[in-house]
Amino acid sequence: MSLILLLSIFIALELFEANWQKSDNFLGLIKNNYLVYKKSLFIYFLLNPTFFYSLYLSIILNNFNFWMSSIVIMKFIDISFRLFLLSKIDNDEPIDKYVPINFNISLPLRYINTLIYPSIFLLALVSFV
């Protein structure tokens, strides 16, 4: 597969994730995640495709260097932390002792992942060659 195609898919999946979680503040973002989490954990994982896509890229490209591994690890930590927060909400525990819930999410912050992860992916490819 063309590396440009792989990068384009990565960006498209990042945009998909940013859009389904979209909210004006962090509490709204967590509520959007919680609504999906309550429906089905399986669907929740399907709505986070970049984790699986980054694993896929690591395997098909046989690229396990620092940059590629850092993408997979950051994605894993992100999903794990959100699942931790969602389980706290499920048990009626406050999450404000773990994260500040009342900050606004600006438009650039909402889509920063579409720049960061594909850029790190490019670094992974450049340092791999």
**Letter for the amino acid at 37?**
Y
What average pLDDT does the chain have?
A: 94
pLDDT at position 101 is: 82
Q: According to the model, what pLDDT value does residue 89 have?
A: 96
Number of structural domains, the chain? 1
DSSP state, residue 24: S
Calpha distance 36→45 (Å, rounded): 10
Domain with 8, as residue range(s), is 3-128
CA–CA distances in Å: residue 23 to residues 1, 44, 45, 127: 35, 17, 19, 35
Instruction: Indicate if the pLDDT at residue 14 is higher than 80.
Output: yes
